[in-house]
């Protein structure tokens, strides 16, 4: 919509606002008593015959999404949280004076109506309005009816308009809430306790990621937004908890794409006296439970691909995956051949080389997108993580697994490292890499190591990127489709927050002149 046209429409609505107040009508009242929502009314009176009227009265409220005025009678469609319902206004019934007030109503306004229910000749359940109240006068017009809101960037930036114009979007977030509830139900039923760990942390850790940096002004103290829950959860195991989880937002100061958002939902479990094998089974059972509870089946159809979530899931190592999906046998290659292979695929190993790192990089490049059916990639090279226990039968490996579905890494789990001496050495090595410019390396966390020195029981951990679970179970194409307010860059990349706020006020200022 052109700016000049938008200014004109806003001015017209501001004039109507003044006229409503001139008539003694408050366009922004405090409340309205509803008896039903639209879905309840349609369901309750669906059995009426065409042109048959009910005798009891209903009251319903919502937004006008369509308005047709025809002399002394008018039809409108009202949309609420449950759906839509038709309204019928007749001047002879509500009175000429009230009917004239309808001329001050627009598509987008929120109203409350009362009346009896009837069914039209065409069979549509309709409220025969006897009383009507403006509940919120909308000053900005909705997007054009026939074009709707199709621009995805605009839909993400103005989710409120997306929900109005594309009400089916709401179903995704209702399902998201059900998935969240089902995850908690599953873990609670297995004896896990939900706890809360700090979002603001003096030292970040628990994952390979670049953090967001902020400051506590009162203490002149630099702090970080958490990238994971792990180190605080394991402190709680030291303190005596045995089965715990945290569920909420984590933050990683990285780019965004189809499956990444800087602010994202993650759930992490810590389980004392368990190992990564126990945790793999728990992971599979969790997915099965949630799928059955929310979508009624373990068989998904995601973007045209059939995916079966039923346990047990396939397990394979990175070495096995490279053989199966890329016909590459790294066990038969010396270091020079591995480097040649990395260079051949233009894989940057940042001047650092080890066999383990080479295997990880080759696996990511050649295999990840082939893992469509649920698969645990197990027994990672020791370079993969400084927080996991060495493999009990091969010290070049760690007891780590990553579940993959649809070519996406869905989580990260391992038998947790409990040896404080080894943990200190590994974190000091990571801190050295961090000082050398490796932005995703772990910082040294002295307090965490001291906690381990008090004794951490054998345990296993699992973190799941829950937004990707939401995507799969709602058949959503991108992570932004399952986050109500995804992180977005400014439309004008050079703009400051202040400039953006000023720009958003400009249309209203011009309309008021």
202 and 129 assigned to the same domain:
no
Name the pLDDT band for 502 (thresholds 50, 70, 90): low
Identify whether residues 382 and 429 lie together within a single domain. yes
Report the number of secondary-structure helices (H) and strands (E) in the chain. Answer: 16, 19
Query: What pLDDT is recorded for position 145?
Result: 57
Q: Residue 369 pLDDT > 90, yes or no?
A: yes
Residue 434: Cβ-neighbour burial (10 angstroms; 0-12, 13-18, 19+): middle
In this structure, is residue 149 part of a structural domain? no
Same domain, 378 and 280: yes
For residue 133, which phi and psi values (nearest 5 degrees)? -135, 135
The answer on 288 and 408 residing in a single domain is: yes
The reply to whether 393 and 466 lie within a common domain is yes
3-class DSSP assignment, residue 310: coil
* 320 within a domain of the structure (yes/no): no
Give the position of tokens 């709401």: 170
Please name the helix (run of DSSP H) or strand (run of DSSP E) that holds residue 405, with its range, or none. Answer: strand 397-405
Same domain for 103 and 201, yes or no, is no
- Are both 91 and 176 inside the same structural domain? no
Domain match, 126 and 194 both: no
224: containing domain: 169-313+373-482
Please compute the mean of the pLDDT values over residues 477-501 and round it to a whole number: 80
Residue 56 forms part of a structural domain: yes
Query: What confidence category does residue 395 fall into, taking pLDDT thresholds of 50, 70 and 90?
Result: very high
Provide the domain count of the chain. Answer: 2
Structure confidence by residue, pLDDT tens digits, 298-347:
999 999 999 999 999 999 999 999 999 999 999 999 999 999 999 999 99
336 within a domain of the structure (yes/no) = no
73 and 214 in a single domain? The answer is no
Q: List, for residues 185-225, the tens digit of each pLDDT value.
A: 999 999 999 999 999 999 999 888 999 999 999 999 999 99
- Residue 24: which CATH number? 2.40.50.140
Domain shared by 136 and 190, yes or no: no
- pLDDT the model gives residue 62: 98
From 16-25, 150-159, 406-415, the region with the lowest mean pLDDT: 150-159
Residue 49 has pLDDT above 50, yes or no: yes
Residue 53, CA distances (Å) to 127, 131, 170 in order: 10, 17, 32
**What's the CATH number where 249 sits?**
3.30.930.10
Residue 175 lies in a domain: yes
pTM > 0.95: yes or no: no
Residues 105 and 190 in one domain: no
Same-domain pairing of 138 and 173: no
* Residue 503 in domain: no
């Amino acid at each position: 919509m052109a700016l000049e046209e938008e200014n004109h429409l806003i001015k017209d609505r501001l004039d109507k606002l003044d006229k409503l107040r001139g008539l003694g009508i408050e366009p922004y009242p405090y409340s309205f008593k509803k008896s039903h929502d639209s879905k309840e009314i349609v369901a309750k009176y669906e059995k009426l015959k065409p042109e048959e009227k009910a005798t009891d009265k209903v009251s319903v409220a919502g937004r006008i999404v369509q308005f047709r005025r025809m002399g002394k009678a008018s039809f409108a469609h009202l949309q609420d949280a449950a759906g839509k319902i038709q309204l019928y206004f007749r001047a002879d019934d509500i009175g000429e004076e009230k009917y004239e007030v309808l001329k001050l109503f627009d598509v987008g306004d929120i109203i409350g109506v009362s009346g009896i229910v009837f069914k039209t000749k065409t069979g549509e359940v309709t409220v025969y309005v006897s009383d009507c109240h403006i509940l919120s006068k909308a000053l900005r017009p909705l997007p054009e009816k026939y074009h709707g809101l199709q621009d995805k960037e605009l839909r993400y930036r103005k989710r409120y308009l997306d929900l109005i114009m594309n009400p089916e979007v709401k179903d995704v977030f209702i399902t998201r809430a059900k998935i969240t509830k089902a995850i908690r139900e599953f873990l609670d039923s297995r004896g896990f306790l939900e706890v809360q760990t700090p979002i603001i942390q003096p030292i970040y850790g628990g994952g390979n990621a670049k953090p967001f940096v902020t400051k506590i002004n009162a203490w002149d103290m630099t702090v970080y937004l958490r990238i994971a829950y792990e180190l605080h959860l394991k402190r709680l195991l030291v303190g005596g908890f045995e089965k715990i989880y945290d569920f909420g937002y984590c933050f990683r100061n990285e780019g965004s794409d189809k499956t990444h958002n800087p602010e994202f939902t993650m759930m992490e479990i810590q389980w004392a006296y368990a190992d990564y094998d126990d945790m793999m089974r728990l992971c599979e059972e969790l997915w099965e439970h949630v799928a059955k509870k929310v979508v009624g089946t373990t068989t998904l159809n995601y973007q045209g691909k059939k995916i079966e979530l039923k346990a047990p899931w396939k397990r394979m190592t990175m070495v096995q995956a490279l053989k199966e999906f890329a016909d590459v046998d790294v066990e038969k290659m010396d270091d020079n051949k591995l480097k040649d292979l990395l260079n051949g695929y233009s894989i940057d190993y940042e001047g650092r080389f080890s066999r383990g790192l080479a295997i990880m990089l080759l696996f990511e490049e050649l295999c990840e997108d082939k893992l469509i059916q649920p698969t645990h990639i197990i027994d990672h090279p020791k370079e993969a993580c400084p927080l996991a226990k060495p493999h009990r039968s091969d010290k070049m490996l760690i007891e780590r697994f990553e579940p993959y579905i649809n070519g996406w890494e869905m989580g990260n789990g391992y038998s947790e490292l409990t040896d404080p001496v080894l943990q200190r050495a590994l974190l000091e090595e990571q801190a050295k890499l961090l000082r050398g410019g490796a932005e995703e390396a772990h910082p040294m966390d002295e307090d965490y190591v001291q906690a381990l020195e008090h004794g951490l029981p054998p345990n296993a951990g699992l973190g799941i990127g829950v937004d990707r679970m939401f995507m799969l179970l709602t058949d959503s194409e991108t992570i932004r489709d399952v986050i109500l307010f995804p992180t977005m860059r400014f439309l004008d990349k050079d703009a400051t927050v202040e400039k953006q706020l000023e720009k958003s006020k400009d249309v209203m200022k011009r309309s008021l002149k």
